[in-house]
Amino acid sequence: MTFQEQIKQGIPNILPQPSAYDNNVNHAPKRKEILSDEEKKLALKNALRYFESKHHATLLPEFKEELEKYGRIYMYRFRPTYKMYARPIDEYPGKSTQAKAIMLMIQNNLDYAVAQHPHELITYGGNGAVFSNWAQYLLTMKYLSEMTDEQTLVMYSGHPMGLFPSHKNAPRVVVTNGMMIPNYSKPDDWEKFNALGVTQYGQMTAGSYMYIGPQGIVHGTTITVLNGGRKIAKEGEGLTGKLFVTSGLGGMSGAQPKAGNIAGCITVCAEVNPKAVHTRHSQGWVDEVITDINELITRVQKAQNNKEIVSIAYQGNVVDIWEEFDKHNLYIDLGSDQTSLHNPWAGGYYPVGLSFEEAKNLMANDPDKFKEHVQESLRRQAAAINKHTAKGTYFFDYGNAFLLEASRAGADVMAANGIDFKYPSYVQDIMGPMCFDYGFGPFRWVCTSGKPEDLAKTDAIACEVLEAMIKASPIEIQQQMADNIQWIKGAQENKLVVGSQARILYADAEGRIKIAKAFNDAIKAGKIGPVVLGRDHHDVSGTDSPYRETSNIYDGSKFTADMAAIHNVIGDSFRGATWVSIHNGGGVGWGEVINGGFGMLLDGTVEAQKRLESMLFWDVNNGIARRSWARNDEAIFAIQRAMEVEPLLKVTLPNIVSDDLLN
């Protein structure tokens, strides 16, 4: 069968041969056993309902073995035999160009070069899934190949509910992931209901089909490291010769060494998984690999003395780095952590003192003991970090729930008031006041032609737009504009593409709209193929996350979820998004955050221009309005500026209460 025929087939009537377990692929760890015997029967019934009853006797023992061996039913037998990657949009079967664009984005999320655990359909973060099993993938792709622009596909935590009649201005796909009743949103609830096959963790851009490889966070990390450096540097001094220590080389965190190189510092990034280290080194995202701590110390001392720009992966535990660098009085300028601590008990964090394999075995077979090791490791890590910050290290929480989980472990990370953390979130210190409050966030696009030359053309278009804009930009956002122009000019040189021909650029609403209009004009003129627009949920308005994106909202509302869960996604839906998504969980954990996302296809039409103008303006400014109501000065400035541009925008502004009056 051809690729197109396989897509249109969906779940095959004749069972394919079982797929051999491929040890060369990075696999998800075994999930802990959490289901009762009756619940295991229910999980099997839930899995078998995708198949005709004549196949149940054959598939039952196979699915039962998967559940016992891996803690989940992935349906490996149904894994496609074709290569998984984002093909040019014209190679997909179907009646709707918008649907073809979504198929392209789904396959990009599962590309072996992109996905963290591709055979388990997990894109990044240890549990950020596109689907829960391969039957869901096959059925979804079949529906998309049949869809017209008068239908909407409804996705229910990985499960395709089906095609429903709608209209051409409605979203082609509506995605939900993990939307639990609040009292059933603890980590063990995810373990249980995911094992049952009735919900999944979509992370941020995994389950919304908008992941573009680690490039997606390189820009944000670069901005964070650059501005972290600006906070500690003397006037006129850059990051040359300064040391940035962090951890994690998985899907998102793999961006750190590349960002460190772009920012111009020495980066040391610890990673316990040899396959993740190999992947990032082979892709050129990290320069060197060292496995011996003493060799690492010598190498870093040399780099500091020579003021090198270099990224080093330490294949080992980051706790050893913090402790040994302290013993050898090796000065760390910037420090953070980007292990997947939103998922601490299921592979997101590996404790010091255990090998990678020992930790995986303990995680699956004695989860309570594993939790003890993790919490002891967090206490040790925090204690070592405290020693470095006493010497002057600037440490920030990079939104991965490090401080949150360290505090729950009893680590010394609380401020004197017993309420706040002693170290800031990077959003509180950098991204919130400098970017999100002004409306700057991770705007991204994908060239559906798959042609590198199209990506180069879009880079040039975006750069031209920004260079024209900066001439009239107010002083308050000049630095942001300059940083983004520098970024896009170096995009080709830095070889950021992994998977699809995609790019990310921090832009405000004005920038996003002007860039998107310029793309649409270029498509209409036949200069480039269709383009998919999107963003990370890690944005101005895409996420309600009290320990990350909304951590710099101080009016007491940071624990509410009206913005992303309702306003943003519903507003995007009727303003022209091609698909929308809403997720429980993400970068800081299941039950800790609500994320909203979108995708939009530009095809060069007048209709596409109307949609982009309406939706992109709303998608950014609803978040600025929320932030301005919280009395954030930068957001008040930004929303007042937006109201001057658009007379139909009228936002309720706060009246500022004098602290002297309250005191």
Does 511 belong to an annotated binding site? no
Does 476 belong to an annotated binding site? no
Look-up of token digits 């049949």:
146
What does the buried/exposed string (b/e) look like for 481-492 if buried means 16 or more CB atoms within 10 Å of the residue's CB? bebbbebbeebe
Does 39 belong to an annotated binding site? no
SS3 content of the chain, % helix, strand, coil (to 5): 45, 15, 40
Asked if 125 and 116 touch (Cβ cutoff 8 Å), the reply is: yes
How many Å apart are CA 571 and CA 516, to the nearest integer? 19
Residue 526 Cα distances to 8, 462, 519, 529, angstroms: 29, 17, 11, 7
How many Å apart are CA 363 and CA 184, to the nearest integer? 22
Look-up of token digits 């193929």:
529
Does 126 belong to an annotated binding site? yes
Does 91 belong to an annotated binding site? no
How many Å apart are CA 597 and CA 444, to the nearest integer? 12
Residue 565 Cα distances to 543, 561, 585, 591, 639, angstroms: 8, 6, 12, 13, 21
According to DSSP, the β-strands at 594-602 and 243-247 are unpaired
Does 634 belong to an annotated binding site? no
Tokens of 101: 């664009």
Q: Return the number of other C-beta atoms located less than 10 Å from residue 366's C-beta.
A: 13
Q: What angle do CA 318, 214, 173 make, to 5 degrees?
A: 130
Tokens of 371: 């939790």
In DSSP terms, which residues pair with 594 in a beta bridge?
A: 544, 584
How many Å apart are CA 389 and CA 412, to the nearest integer? 13
How many Å apart are CA 271 and CA 290, to the nearest integer? 11
Q: Binding-site residues for NAD(+), please?
A: 125-126, 203, 271, 398, 587
